[in-house]
Chain A
Amino acid sequence: MTTFNTNVQLPFQDDLGFCNVLMSAIGGDGANMAAKLLFKVCVTYLDLDGAYDAKYGSEKKGTPTDVSLRFCKFGTSVRESGPTNRPHILCIFRDALIRPLALNRGLQKNALVIANTRRSPEEIRDDLRLHSGTICCLDATRIALETNSRLNIPILVLLAKFLQIPMETLRKVVGETWPRASTANLQAFDRALGSFAQKRFEADGKYPLVPPAEPRGRIGYMNMNEGGAINATTHLNLSSSMPSASINPLPDFHAEICTHCGLCMLACSDPGAIVWDDKKMIAIDAVYCKGCMRCVEACPDTKKGKALTAPAELAVA
Chain B
Amino acid sequence: MQLFQISVSVLCFHALVASVAFAEEAQVSFARDVAPIFENHCLRCHKESHAKGELSLQTPHGLRENEYVIPGKPEESHLLELVTSQGNNPPAMPKEGPTLSAKQRQTLRRWIDQGATWPAEVVLQQRSKADASWWSLQPVRSVPVPDSVTFAGNDAVPSDHPIDRFIHAKLAEQKLSPSVRADRRTLIRRLYFDLLGLPPAPETVAGFVADNDPQSYENLVDTLLQSQHFGERWTRHWLDIAHYADTHGFERDKRRDHAWRYRDYVIQSFNADKPYDQFLREQIAGDVMGPHNDEAVVATGFLAAGPWDFVGQVETKSPVLRRASRVLDLDDMVTQVMTATTAMTVNCARCHDHKLDPITQREYYQLTAVFAGLQRGDRDLGKGARHKYESGIAQLESEINEVSLAIGRLEGRGIDLADIVGGGTGFGTGRKGLGLDARTGKTQERPFGDLGNVKPGHYAKVNHAFIDGVFVPANGESQITSTRLKATGLPANSGKAWDMIRNGPVSSQFSTKFGAVDYNTAAHSMIGLHANAGITFDLVAVRRAIVGENTAATEAQSDSATLRFTAVAGYGGKPEEPSAEFHIFLDGALQQHQRIGRNDAVPIQISIPSAAQWLTLVSTDGGNGYGNDQVSFGDPQIRVEAATKHTAVQQQRVAALRRKRVRLVQQLTAAGEPPVFFGVVSETPAAIHVLDRGDPESPGDVVNPGSLAWSATPVEFGSTDTSDARRRTAMANWITSETNPLTTRVIVNRLWHWHFGQGIVSTPSDFGYGGGRPSHPELLEWLATELATQNWSLKHIHRLIVTSETYQQTSIHPATRLDGAASLVEKHEGIPPRKRRTAESDIDVDNRLLWRMNPRRLEAEAVRDSVLAVTDKLNRQMFGPGYRDFNYQEAYAPIYTYKTADSPELWRRSVYRFIVRTTPPQFLTTLDCPDPANLTATRNVTTTPLQSLALFNNEFMLKQAEYFAGRLQAEHPNDIPKQMARAFDLAFARHPTNYELQHAAQLVRQNGLLHLCRALFNANEFVYVD
- A and B together in one complex: no
Q: Write the residues of chain A forming the contact surface with B, with a CB cutoff of 8 angstroms.
A: none
Q: Write the residues of chain B forming the contact surface with A, with a CB cutoff of 8 angstroms.
A: none
